[in-house]
Structure 1
């Protein structure tokens, strides 16, 4: 074809397209403005006719844009005010784009016809604009899992059509707004079914005016905030309620006596508050499945008889509620019972579980009570019974299974549908129908499931079926879904990994991904009722493939448009051929890297840093870690310090990891980095945080550790984590940390001096077992260095061995000194240096061995349980003071410290070799909210080398 004629055809086609365009010019201008500020838009966003050219995620009516749905697209940028100038827009769903950030524009209120505002799982921040109250037609307002701050706008009360209000998992603070003579409030939302406001920082009392008999609420979720005052009795006016969560706040006073009139409630969570008075009588709540009132300050009482009348009960959580006496055997005959947790009470006598009628009962946890006898009956149903820290298990020679801590296995993964899975190429997954494909993945989170038996296969099969039914009813090309790794998080939410597989091809296109995301983000999908309220966090989908050339809807463009389309198709084929060749090249490179994980090891002959010799740790590529952390997103940034940043990541098998990423000024040479990872890869002990691997490419140095969920000891002692530590728990933490340190000194090869032992470097796992962490300053000792190492002084002021500071002679006894300070911190919950006072000196001056509690009443932490007998406290103080003696030669070695703490535990009537008795949830203090993260910016601390003048107090 003549080139001039081709140019003419192209020009003519553009002219015809502009004449036949279906999109309103003003709307086109606004979408073009979005293209200028957003990255990673779908490739279909080109041309001048979004409605006619069918841009992915865009829907129109009568040439006006009415819907923008772009979930899981990997969009980057901020919310532009241009989007608020689309007057006919009814749906805006940008969920699961974690790199969309910044504030919402105040002009959001201009979208007068908006019905769905859904921004789940992004990174938007700043206050929620008050103008959101102008969206009079709004039905769904889902802003959860972002970083919004400030108060809840009272203007939301003006949204008279609102059905769904979800502001959970943000940083909102202030009071819950209710209406006055001049301002609206949430009490005006009489059509709203869902109040999801958990995991924020809301404070003040729950207003009694918030609830009324006019309301139609079914879910009230206020968990994990900072709410105070009492539970308003007006809550009982909302007869439609099904799920109530007020747990993990600072609520006080008695539970309203009229709460039992809410006969439709199936899940009731009131745990981890400061509730007082008698245990609530919930007789009549015949649909109650899940009851958790643990860790409150109720009056001491016998096991309530009304509990045995709750025929629907699956789960009873009454840990730390001052129960006493015996459990009636009839209670265990409830037909639907799955889990019973009554630990940390005063239950006594003989345990008789009578006749078990439930075929679902998995666990009876009665740790730390006063049960004196239990004899399993012949033929009795196999149930995990835990009686650790009861007299029945403290007799010499008792080795019964119920005297150890065990939990039912809750692993689950969708099995193949009568087929054999086949090997798949990189990033593809074999579906339940044994087809290799690029799955759409994400996390389903259920906020209040009515069951606790996570190993029940039937419930997951029903969830899979309901998901498939929902996708099919919405005419989505989904072949199958897979669920895996069910687990409870610290808020008692149920997390499930979800994989969605495409039908009749191995990838989804942009349109289908946005539609699947919308089905899950706007709650079109309704799970089986026993799963309760949920939300979904989708992963960015990276596997879109080129689609066939789109047909043009304007049939009157004739042969000219066909010729142009043919030329465009040819050009597209050439581009695709180039992309295919490039992709094949990259795939070959990745294959080479996979076969040789050290292909990018940045070593040089001069550095002497050959490939590291690892024991248990492995190489992670930079691309892998990008994927596991969602491109090192801000949402996964969980800590920072002088070394760099720490990111949370998730491996393909669901395991959580912590990734310590060095900043440029902290990078070591190849030889030094190799030496460090070789050293840490040899450290394997249950009381030492494990190194899983490393990354050393693209100029990066990263260490990958196991993820330790319950933060640092410092956070628990300071009250920041919400975990309450009694005397026994502190003894066990001291023993665990001591064992970890003794391992480093005496069993590691080579022996290691930690050099920075402190409470921020002792982490607590899910069962509050102590793990020594952060080896940034550690020093291995070779055979020639046994005795001492002369080295520059490093450490943290307050924990620093004064002998080491003065002589620069580093020995294992320097760690012993630091551990002694940690022991004093366990006793007092005070910082080593606070307001100019040094804890070692304060204890030394106050000590009087002739007086009760060694005369340390004023220094001891009140939450240690001073009202109870602190068995072994005198010996613990003596040991701590031995550890902090001025001369290292006078201090014990860590092996002896371990033995002495074991003796103290035995003196307290406990088995020092028993596993921890409870999960961390057992020790969450009322009113403290959700535990902070172990790698939070306050917890993560790296103390590098410094001259004496630069030593900073901890």
Structure 2
């Protein structure tokens, strides 16, 4: 008989020997990759700590001569944080982790050790903190795409060292400060003479645009500085860069005149200078024959006659000169430009007769001349019929003019959606979607965002058919597993970009495998796919893919020298099988012995502080359940009782002897990685009791199991309700009551619990609803006690959920009750808009703040407010509710209200709305509640309930 120590020793020797003999990956790099695994979740299933990354062909890993040269894992819903081990691959050429929003935290500075890296693609993740200065050490870098994250702080001057850089995309972050320029001892972006793409839009960059940034020998094609806080004048040196094709400086605070030498940019196709404070004469663009799209609206130019150069731009599709002090009559020849599609000249001093002439152009769709001085309208060609809007002109003030089409605004056209390909659309089951070829499958989805269109008729199906054909041609030529693509809902977003929903359907299957998603994601993040040039520069944002089929693993290629190694490893196979059989017999016999009685006097005798990272829990009255009891309540963890599943465990519905339904969360057996969070939950919930806090019925810690037993809440979490996934509609009164309940729960934690408790992860998925839609705060895995002497703040590692995370806490690492108040402010906006805190790189707080106009009804937010909130109910008090949210979101915690004050303000708002603020819910009738309960998806049946960071139930820093 082999004893257990003997078996372990033999196994260690045999497996160790095989690993040493058969490994195809450099041992240091293999260890580093496996170390990264411990901090990441939702990795490809073929990533196994027992396998060799190169030898076993791990998904997304490419090797050469036993060294890892490429890590490509885009669109896989990976979550967690990158640690310093990422810098341990000296031969790495490509690192692409795009479209994994769960990747959060700061980017390790050790990434600067990857000296051979040529491409770093982190598009659409959830990274925060500053961009590491060490990236400037990657002298071979050709592509740097960090857009659509949450990076803060200045642009590192060290990026100026990247002399080979072709593509630099830092857009859609929260970068601040000035654009860095070299000064002799410090590098700057003016040294990037070979870079063709400067994409810095949608940040918070300030200061002047440095003249040193531009020179005659630059290769720059795209200059995108839109939606920042840049000031000062446009440097005249910009007119020297004759390679430029697109300039976007719109939506800043630029002043002064447009440089006279701009008409030297004869290759320029798109020019957007709108929404600044530019002065002086309207620039003369004569000779810029490639110009397609011109927008200089909303500036303070001098009063001038209608610019004659407009009629010479034969490529022009779009001319937008709204509020630019233009006067006089529009020349008839303007309407004969062969490619003109849209002409917007609102709020100027244009007068006389609007004469469209015979109109040789058949592309013109819109002429918008609202609020001018036009007194007559002539149209010679009846077949030439664009939409003309003359509201606010004298011609529309004459008797009978209201009957004219040009004195009204037409209804918007139907949005484009890819039609079926000569087939009848089927009715698809589950979450499947019908493709244009009428097959049901799970597509890879996301949004294509085009930053500088060269056309303006976004309702024109011709362009989208062109784009679809282009994408399919690319997929076929690169042998991507794509059956078809579908586009829908093209619209202009808040930044002036064209956003289009994209669905990519799998070829000859109902779902993609991971290899297919990786190849598609890489083509879009890496910009390997190029759309037709009229769409201009683009980026793609995916929500990730979850419906993977099994990958068919391709055996790794082996050299002649490696065949002997593999044969040697195979020679040990018989010994391995024999050893496993012996160990199995031993374990079987051990299991036949009667188990020892549970030591009830010391429930946590087996608590391993080295693994759990925390001391033994200190309990105050929490009920302990034995594992046998839990098995009985769940029918031995029957799949029929499973009501949810996630990366680190499952949730089961059970019933304790009194008949009360409970929800039982079970971690993976033997996992102690979440010991801190398990301890937090049972310690905190055993000591606090409030009707707006989820109730902990008990727990079980036995035989390596970690189980938490909660009260069962049938109406799910608030996020599912707001998105419509639960089947419940929350009108305005119910949303106020939900807010009040959650606020009361938080106020209890802050002001009545002893010691006070900071929740640290307030968000819509952690607000659960009972049978009467009363709100209950849940998930205390990240909560912190404010012990005596810590009343001001706690200095602690930053944790929470991106989008809800208090920026002051993030920057100072000092946690206070006001950090929960900030998160609650985001929750208020979520209640009002039903939007996620971050959507496509846009912050709901910023979007609402920018849209508020207190001179208008409902602050002018009708386009942002969730349309399901009203349904005939007046939104009394909504403006006050928005004001409260803005107070909660103040930059400094000291300026935010306490949760007690928040409770009082919501109660006051409810009184204004004519609602009762009593504790008893005034929600649905019993019959309505029963109907909801019959139609609900279960609240725990979603991944949000299992958003761990290596344990049970660990919350996280993650995007929403």
TM range (shorter): 0.5 to 0.7
Contact map agreement 2:852 2:860 (CA 8 A) in 1: no
Q: Which residue of 2 aligns with 1:101?
A: 104
Give a deviation string over 1:714-747, Cα, whole Å, max 9, x none.
x99x99956797xxx957889999xx9xxx99x9
Q: Which residue of 1 aligns with 2:276?
A: 273
Q: CA deviation at 1:108?
A: 1.8
Contact map agreement 1:661 1:701 (CA 8 A) in 2: no
Is 2:372 aligned against 1:369?
Answer: yes
2:134 partner SS: helix
Contact map agreement 1:9 1:560 (CA 8 A) in 2: no
Q: TM-score, normalised by structure 1?
A: 0.64
Is 2:423 aligned against 1:419?
Answer: yes
Q: CA deviation at 1:180?
A: 1.1
1:485 partner SS: strand
Q: CA deviation at 1:51?
A: 0.6
Give a deviation string over 1:109-147, Cα, whole Å, max 9, x none.
111101111111111111111111110000001101111
The two structures, once aligned, show a CA RMSD in angstroms of 4.7
Contact map agreement 1:756 1:796 (CA 8 A) in 2: no
1:306 partner SS: helix
Q: CA deviation at 1:468?
A: 1.9
Q: Which residue of 1 aligns with 2:465?
A: 461
Q: Describe how 1:300-311 pairs up with structure 2 within 5 A.
A: 300-311=303-314
Q: Describe how 1:319-358 pairs up with structure 2 within 5 A.
A: 319-358=322-361
Distance verdict in 2 for CA 1:623–1:23, change over 3 Å: farther
Q: Which residue of 1 aligns with 2:232?
A: 229
Contact map agreement 2:201 2:227 (CA 8 A) in 1: yes
2:464 partner SS: helix
Unmatched 5+ residue regions in structure 2? Answer: 579-637, 646-652, 654-659, 663-690, 692-714, 726-735, 744-761, 776-826, 886-901, 916-960
Contact map agreement 1:363 1:407 (CA 8 A) in 2: no
**Aligned to 1:174, which of 177, 181, 186?**
177
Distance verdict in 2 for CA 1:566–1:295, change over 3 Å: farther
Distance in 2 separating the partners of 1:394 and 1:644: 54
Distance in 1 separating the partners of 2:394 and 2:475: 55
Q: Which residue of 2 aligns with 1:195?
A: 198
Q: CA deviation at 1:621?
A: 8.3
Q: Which residue of 1 aligns with 2:21?
A: 19
Give a deviation string over 1:153-207, Cα, whole Å, max 9, x none.
1111110100000001111111111111211111111110000011111111111
Q: CA deviation at 1:704?
A: 6.6
Q: Which residue of 1 aligns with 2:534?
A: 530
Distance verdict in 2 for CA 1:56–1:330, change over 3 Å: same
**Aligned to 1:381, which of 368, 381, 384?**
384
Distance in 1 separating the partners of 2:511 and 2:769: 42
Distance verdict in 2 for CA 1:385–1:710, change over 3 Å: farther
Q: CA deviation at 1:422?
A: 2.1
Q: Which residue of 1 aligns with 2:406?
A: 402
Contact map agreement 2:740 2:906 (CA 8 A) in 1: no
Unmatched 5+ residue regions in structure 1? Answer: 568-580, 594-599, 608-618, 630-638, 646-659, 675-699, 764-791, 814-954
2:38 partner SS: helix
Q: Describe how 1:585-734 pairs up with structure 2 within 5 A.
A: 670-671=771-772, 730=855
Distance verdict in 2 for CA 1:395–1:560, change over 3 Å: farther
2:446 partner SS: strand
Distance in 1 separating the partners of 2:860 and 2:45: 59
Q: CA deviation at 1:560?
A: 6.5
1:500 partner SS: strand
2:466 partner SS: helix
1:515 partner SS: helix
2:151 partner SS: strand
Q: Which residue of 1 aligns with 2:243?
A: 240
Q: Describe how 1:128-147 pairs up with structure 2 within 5 A.
A: 128-147=131-150
1:258 partner SS: helix
Distance in 1 separating the partners of 2:169 and 2:56: 34
Is 2:113 aligned against 1:110?
Answer: yes
1:282 partner SS: coil
Distance in 2 separating the partners of 1:234 and 1:138: 27
Q: Which residue of 1 aligns with 2:546?
A: 542
Contact map agreement 1:154 1:185 (CA 8 A) in 2: yes
Distance in 2 separating the partners of 1:142 and 1:369: 44
**Aligned to 1:156, which of 141, 146, 159?**
159
What is the total number of aligned residue pairs between the two structures? Answer: 679
Contact map agreement 1:755 1:795 (CA 8 A) in 2: no
Distance verdict in 2 for CA 1:643–1:141, change over 3 Å: farther
**Aligned to 1:123, which of 100, 122, 126?**
126
Distance verdict in 2 for CA 1:287–1:222, change over 3 Å: same
Contact map agreement 1:384 1:408 (CA 8 A) in 2: no
Contact map agreement 1:755 1:794 (CA 8 A) in 2: no
Contact map agreement 1:753 1:812 (CA 8 A) in 2: no
Give a deviation string over 1:301-354, Cα, whole Å, max 9, x none.
121111010100000111110111211111111110111111111112222122
Distance in 1 separating the partners of 2:528 and 2:847: 41
Distance verdict in 2 for CA 1:200–1:423, change over 3 Å: same
